[in-house]
Amino acid sequence: MRITVKATKLVLTPALNVFIEKRLARLSKLLKSWDDRGSVLLRVEVARTTRHHKKGDVFRAEVNLDMPSKVLRAEAENNDIRIAVNEAYKKLEGEVKKIKGKLESKKR
């Protein structure tokens, strides 16, 4: 699984980049069956939605998972970028588990 991280209106620090890659690399366990040929791409965009607001949901995390047959997408907004990444990860993990469950039930 290849992971690309893009930052918009936000400075992508090495610590934040490592956090994002470690957190989202956990999906590779669920995607082993699709990732045989390296055909799975995970695109992450972290952004600050506004420059002048200091409170509220000012950070956004968007995660796109390009699989051979589908494209899954999850996004989350929060006042902390790490929490937004965690929320997007949980949404995407749920979608992957749902698709995987459907495929396994079809095989039976």
Domain that holds residue 8: 2-107
Q: What is the pLDDT of residue 72?
A: 93
Residue 107 CB partners (closer than 8 Å, separation 6+): none
Q: What is the pLDDT of residue 92?
A: 94
Which bin fits 20, alpha (ψ -120 to 50), beta or left (φ > 0)?
Answer: alpha
CATH number of the domain to which 70 belongs: 3.30.160.100
- pLDDT means per 10 residues in the chain (108 residues)? 90 93 89 76 90 77 90 93 95 90 72
Q: What is the pLDDT of residue 67?
A: 85
Residue 16 CB partners (closer than 8 Å, separation 6+): 46, 81, 82
